[in-house]
């Protein structure tokens, strides 16, 4: 039996303030094997972003996490430095809003080349360019040679999101963490995202954070959060067919999605 790529055990996230410490997320547990997908669903302020920050070793200085995050058996909550060492190599983060996540002062080619360097691949400049064009094409951008020479502000939001996907392809990822990656983009770009997941990352575990239950339906598992607490966790088909919490029922009802 395949081992878990990621296993989160009793994860809690706290924020420290001047006179108090507040628990933002409490006792979250889940696991994924290669090729499995989990949607973390909840409204704004539910704690989704805190989980993402913990998974990507990006918690703010006034925050800390307890529990365990085991990536291929290694608990990187014990060492933020070790967790960051995985990022860009075996763990890839796909943020919301491609344009905002790209450095506006650097050409697209520079940012993709840097991703190759972070991944640990030893490539010549010519190889980096060839693979960059190839990855852009896989992400749905056929004019890769032109895109490489542009700055982020010279391309559209949809193109920027596809560039982010191309950057993700630079690593030999075992896990992708996507934060609202399909929010606010056109239907064509959203379809390109899922096409990449199906074709290029079929064997990669995926955690996608979303407020949209129609996105959750594309994943095998779903975790529903409200006010930092888990309301539901399990197979998506079972949660959609027989939600236990009133909150999950309301989300499913509002989106008019089901497995019927």
Lateral strand order in the sheet of 74-75: 21-32, 6-16, 63-71, 74-75
Mean pLDDT of the chain: 88
What's the pLDDT at 256? 62
Q: Please give the domain boundaries of the chain with CATH numbers for all domains.
A: 1-83+212-260 (3.40.50.300)
- What is the pLDDT averaged over residues 198-205? 87
How buried is residue 21: exposed, middle or buried, by Cβ count under 10 Å (0-12/13-18/19+)?
Answer: exposed
146 CB-near residues (< 8 Å, 6+ apart):
none
Helix (H) or strand (E) holding 232: strand 229-235
Spatial distance between the Cα atoms of 245 and 87, rounded to a whole number of angstroms: 34
User: How many angstroms separate the CA atoms of 28 and 69, rounded?
Assistant: 10
> For the segment 180-191, what is each residue's pLDDT rounded down to a tens digit?
877 766 777 778
Of all residues in the chain, what percent carry a pLDDT higher than 90? Answer: 49
pTM for the model: 0.88
∠ Cα 109 111 114 (to 5°): 105
Residue with tokens 């067919």, as numbered in its chain: 241
Task: Mark out the alpha helices in the chain (DSSP H runs).
Answer: 48-55, 80-86, 98-101, 108-119, 125-138, 144-148, 157-168, 187-199, 213-216, 236-241, 246-255
Lowest pLDDT segment from 103-112, 156-165, 211-220, 248-257? 248-257
* Nearest of 257, 36, 176 to residue 248 by alpha carbon: 257
Q: For 11-26, what is the mean pLDDT?
A: 94
Higher model confidence: residue 171 or residue 59? 59
- Spatial separation of the C-alpha atoms in residues 86 and 79, rounded to whole Å: 11
CA–CA dist 217, 212 (Å, integer): 9
Q: What is the mean pLDDT of residues 122-142?
A: 91
| Mean pLDDT for the stretch of residues 171-183 | 83
At residue 184, the pLDDT reads: 65
211-230 confidence digits (pLDDT tens): 888 888 889 999 999 999 99
Q: What is the mean pLDDT of residues 26-52?
A: 93
Pairing of strands 63-71, 74-75: antiparallel
Q: How confident is the model at residue 259 (pLDDT cuts 50, 70, 90)?
A: low
pLDDT at 93 over 70: yes
**Could you count the other beta carbons within 10 Å of the beta carbon of residue 37?**
21
Least confident of 192-201, 218-227, 233-242: 192-201
Round to whole Å and give the CA distance between 152 and 85.
Answer: 26
Please tell me the predicted confidence (pLDDT) of residue 257.
Answer: 55
pLDDT in tens, 52-69: 999 988 899 999 999 999
């Amino acid at each position: 039996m395949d081992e878990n790529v990621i296993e989160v055990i009793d994860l809690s996230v706290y924020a420290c303030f001047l006179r108090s410490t507040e628990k933002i997320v409490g006792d979250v547990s889940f696991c994924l094997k290669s090729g499995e997908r989990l949607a973390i669903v909840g409204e704004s302020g539910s704690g989704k972003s805190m989980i993402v920050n913990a998974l990507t070793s990006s918690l703010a200085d006034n925050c800390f996490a307890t529990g365990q995050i085991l990536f291929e058996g290694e608990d990187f909550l014990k060492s933020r430095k070790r967790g960051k060492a995985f990022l860009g190599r075996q763990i890839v983060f796909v943020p919301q809003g491609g344009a905002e996540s790209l450095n506006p002062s650097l050409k697209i080619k520079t940012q993709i080349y840097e991703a190759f360097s972070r991944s640990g691949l030893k490539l010549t400049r010519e190889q980096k360019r060839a693979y960059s064009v190839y990855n852009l094409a896989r992400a749905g951008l056929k004019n890769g040679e032109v895109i490489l020479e542009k700055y982020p502000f010279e391309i559209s939001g949809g193109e920027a999101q596809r560039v982010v996907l191309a950057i993700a392809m630079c690593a030999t990822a075992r896990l992708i963490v996507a934060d609202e990656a399909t929010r606010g983009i056109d239907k064509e770009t959203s379809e390109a995202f899922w096409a990449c997941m199906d074709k290029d990352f079929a064997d990669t575990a995926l955690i996608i954070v979303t407020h949209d239950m129609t996105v959750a339906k594309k994943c095998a598992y779903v975790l529903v959060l409200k006010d930092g607490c888990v309301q539901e966790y399990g197979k998506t088909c079972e949660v959609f067919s027989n939600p236990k919490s009133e909150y999950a029922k309301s989300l499913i009802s509002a989106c008019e999605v089901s497995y019927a």
